[in-house]
Chain A
Amino acid sequence: MIELRNITKTYNKDGGVEVKVLQGINLTIGRGEFVSIMAPSGMGKSTMMNIIGCLDQPTGGEYLLDGIEVAGMNDDDLSSIRNKKIGFVFQSFNLLPRTTALENVELPLIYSPDDLDIKAKAKSALEAVGLGDRVGHQPSELSGGQQQRVAIARALVNDPTLILADEPTGNLDSASSQEVMAIFKKLHLDGRTVILVTHEPEVAAQADRIIRMKDGQVVSDERRAN
Chain B
Amino acid sequence: MKTSRIIGLAMSGLARQKMRTFLMMLGIVIGVATLTVIISLTKGAQHKVMKGIKNFGANSVMASAGGGRMFGPPDGSTVTLTMADAEAMQASIKGIKHIAPFTMHVAQTVVAGSKNTEAAVFGVTPAFADAWQWFAEKGDFISDEDVSGLSKNCVLGQTVVRELFGDQDPIGETVRLNNTNFTVVGVLTKRGASPHGMDMDNRVLVPLSTAMRRLYNTTALGMIRLYVDDPDRLDEVTASVTAILRERHHIAPPQEDDFRVTNSMAMAGTIKGVSKTLTTFLLLLASISLVVGGLVIANIMLISVNERKKEIGIRRAFGAKARDIRQQFLGEALIVTLFGGIGGTLLGIAISLAIAGIKKMPAVLSWEPFVLAIVFSAAVGIVAGLQPARKAAGLDPVNAIKG
Residues of A within 8 A of B (CB): 50, 53, 55-56, 75-76, 79-80, 82-84, 88, 90, 94, 96-99, 103, 107-108, 110-112, 154, 158
Given contacts A96-B311, A110-B9, contact A56 B398 (CB under 8 A): yes
- 7 nearest A-B pairs in the assembled complex, by CB-CB distance: A83-B319, A108-B318, A111-B319, A79-B321, A98-B16, A82-B319, A111-B320
Is the CB of B5 closer than 8 A to any CB of chain A?
yes
- In the complex formed, the residue of A with least CB distance to B328 is A110
Given contacts A50-B398, A96-B311, A99-B12, contact A80 B319 (CB under 8 A): yes
Is the CB of B1 closer than 8 A to any CB of chain A?
yes
The answer to whether A107 touches B315 (Cβ under 8 A) is yes
The answer to whether B319 touches A84 (Cβ under 8 A) is yes
For A96, what are the chain B residues with a Cβ–Cβ distance below 8 Å?
Answer: 311, 314
In the complex, per-residue mask of B296-335: 1 if CB is within 8 Å of any chain A CB, else 0: 0000000000000011011111111111100000000000
A90 to B313, CA, bound (A): 12
For B5, what are the chain A residues with a Cβ–Cβ distance below 8 Å?
Answer: 110
Compute the total of residue contacts between A and B using a CB distance below 8 Å.
Answer: 66
Is the CB of B267 closer than 8 A to any CB of chain A?
no
Is the CB of B397 closer than 8 A to any CB of chain A?
yes
Contact of B317 among A55, A98, A99 (CB under 8 A): A55
7 contacts between A and B (CB under 8 A): A79-B319, A83-B320, A96-B311, A108-B319, A110-B9, A110-B320, A111-B320
State which residues 12-26 of B face A: CB under 8 Å: 12, 16
For A55, what are the chain B residues with a Cβ–Cβ distance below 8 Å?
Answer: 316-317, 397-398, 401
The answer to whether A76 touches B323 (Cβ under 8 A) is yes
A112 to B320, CA, bound (A): 9
- In the complex formed, the residue of B with least CB distance to A155 is B318
A79 to B398, CA, bound (A): 13
For A107, what are the chain B residues with a Cβ–Cβ distance below 8 Å?
Answer: 314-315, 318
In the complex, what's the smallest C-beta–C-beta distance from B270 to chain A, in angstroms?
Answer: 60
A53 to B313, CA, bound (A): 13
For B9, what are the chain A residues with a Cβ–Cβ distance below 8 Å?
Answer: 110
Contact of A111 among B315, B397, B398 (CB under 8 A): B315
Query: Assuming A83-B319, A94-B317, A110-B8, what are 6 further A-B pairs, CB within 8 angstroms?
Result: A55-B316, A79-B322, A84-B319, A98-B16, A154-B318, A158-B318
Name, among B310, B318, B324, B397, the residue most crowded by chain A CB atoms within 10 Å (CB to CB). Answer: B318
A56 to B401, CA, bound (A): 12
A111 to B317, CA, bound (A): 11
The answer to whether B319 touches A53 (Cβ under 8 A) is no
In the complex, what's the smallest C-beta–C-beta distance from A193 to chain B, in angstroms?
Answer: 18
- In the complex formed, the residue of A with least CB distance to B321 is A79
For B317, what are the chain A residues with a Cβ–Cβ distance below 8 Å?
Answer: 53, 55, 82, 88, 94
- In the complex formed, the residue of B with least CB distance to A76 is B321
How extensive is the interface on chain B, given as a class? 20 to 34
In the complex, per-residue mask of B62-77: 1 if CB is within 8 Å of any chain A CB, else 0: 0000000000000000
Name, among B314, B316, B322, B324, the residue most crowded by chain A CB atoms within 10 Å (CB to CB). Answer: B314
Given contacts A55-B397, A99-B16, contact A111 B321 (CB under 8 A): yes
A84 to B321, CA, bound (A): 13
Given contacts A76-B323, A99-B16, A110-B9, contact A82 B398 (CB under 8 A): no
A154 to B315, CA, bound (A): 11
A169 to B321, CA, bound (A): 29
- In the complex formed, the residue of B with least CB distance to A82 is B319
Contact of A82 among B12, B311, B318, B323 (CB under 8 A): B318
The answer to whether B310 touches A94 (Cβ under 8 A) is yes
Given contacts A79-B316, A94-B314, contact A111 B401 (CB under 8 A): no
The answer to whether A94 touches B323 (Cβ under 8 A) is no
A84 to B8, CA, bound (A): 22
For A76, what are the chain B residues with a Cβ–Cβ distance below 8 Å?
Answer: 321-323
In the complex, what's the smallest C-beta–C-beta distance from B8 to chain A, in angstroms?
Answer: 8
A84 to B323, CA, bound (A): 17
- In the complex formed, the residue of B with least CB distance to A84 is B319
Contact of B12 among A83, A84, A103 (CB under 8 A): A103
For B310, what are the chain A residues with a Cβ–Cβ distance below 8 Å?
Answer: 94
- In the complex formed, the residue of B with least CB distance to A164 is B317
The answer to whether A111 touches B324 (Cβ under 8 A) is yes
Contact of A112 among B314, B319, B322 (CB under 8 A): B319
Name, among A53, A76, A88, A107, the residue most crowded by chain B CB atoms within 10 Å (CB to CB). Answer: A107
For B401, what are the chain A residues with a Cβ–Cβ distance below 8 Å?
Answer: 55, 90, 94
For B311, what are the chain A residues with a Cβ–Cβ distance below 8 Å?
Answer: 96
In the complex, what's the smallest C-beta–C-beta distance from A68 to chain B, in angstroms?
Answer: 16
The answer to whether B16 touches A79 (Cβ under 8 A) is no
For A112, what are the chain B residues with a Cβ–Cβ distance below 8 Å?
Answer: 319
- In the complex formed, the residue of A with least CB distance to B400 is A55
For B316, what are the chain A residues with a Cβ–Cβ distance below 8 Å?
Answer: 55, 79, 82
For B323, what are the chain A residues with a Cβ–Cβ distance below 8 Å?
Answer: 76
For A83, what are the chain B residues with a Cβ–Cβ distance below 8 Å?
Answer: 318-320
In the complex, what's the smallest C-beta–C-beta distance from B364 to chain A, in angstroms?
Answer: 45
A94 to B309, CA, bound (A): 12
In the complex, per-residue mask of B104-145: 1 if CB is within 8 Å of any chain A CB, else 0: 000000000000000000000000000000000000000000
A82 to B8, CA, bound (A): 22
A103 to B398, CA, bound (A): 23
In the complex, what's the smallest C-beta–C-beta distance from B394 to chain A, in angstroms?
Answer: 10
- In the complex formed, the residue of A with least CB distance to B397 is A55
In the complex, what's the smallest C-beta–C-beta distance from B21 to chain A, in angstroms?
Answer: 13
- In the complex formed, the residue of B with least CB distance to A108 is B318
In the complex, what's the smallest C-beta–C-beta distance from A118 to chain B, in angstroms?
Answer: 9
